[in-house]
């Protein structure tokens, strides 16, 4: 296992579950994977939207939900605390939306509380830029959107 920890955002989990090209599948190689308690909610909302749009079947939805639960079972889920929400409401070095700000603030507060390095994984280009501007190591640096 690699030393240190990684932060896994929703785009990373979705890319694996939906078997998208370029999905980062190696989070199990790290000693610790951290995410916001928001991650599973975001992933499930996206899967519900894909069913409603007819892009995946109900049986595929059920399989994806199971895959999410199994593949992220070992993740350390960080609760949305007042300290994180205060950070979310504050200023970031680059523009980010609310959900991305929650992921970014969660990672930043985790680093401060644990005094450990954290590699931030995201496929979202805007979030990657904001995370890097906030002093986090980011992979991959070239996001998808």
Q: What is the pTM of this model?
A: 0.88
Q: What are the tens digits of pLDDT across the range 64-79? A: 999 999 988 989 999 9
The residue ranges of every structural domain in the chain are 2-38+75-139
Tell me, what's the pLDDT at 27? Answer: 64
Q: What are the tens digits of pLDDT across the range 67-121? A: 999 988 989 999 999 999 999 999 999 999 999 999 999 999 999 999 888 999 9
Alpha-carbon distances of 141 from 85, 105, 132, 133, 144, rounded to whole Å: 26, 18, 9, 12, 10
């Amino acid at each position: 296992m690699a030393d240190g920890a990684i932060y896994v955002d929703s785009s990373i989990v979705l890319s694996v579950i939906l078997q998208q090209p370029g999905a980062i599948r190696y989070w199990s190689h790290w000693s610790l994977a951290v995410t916001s308690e928001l991650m599973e909610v975001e992933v499930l909302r996206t899967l519900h939207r894909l069913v409603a749009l007819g892009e995946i079947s109900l049986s595929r939805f059920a399989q994806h939900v199971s895959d999410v639960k199994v593949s992220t079972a070992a993740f350390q889920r960080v609760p949305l605390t007042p300290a994180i929400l205060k950070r979310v409401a504050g200023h970031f070095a680059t523009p980010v939306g609310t959900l991305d700000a929650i992921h970014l603030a969660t990672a930043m507060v985790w680093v401060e509380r644990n005094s450990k390095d954290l590699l931030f994984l995201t496929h979202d280009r805007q979030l990657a830029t904001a995370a890097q501007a906030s002093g986090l190591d980011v992979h991959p640096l070239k996001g998808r959107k």
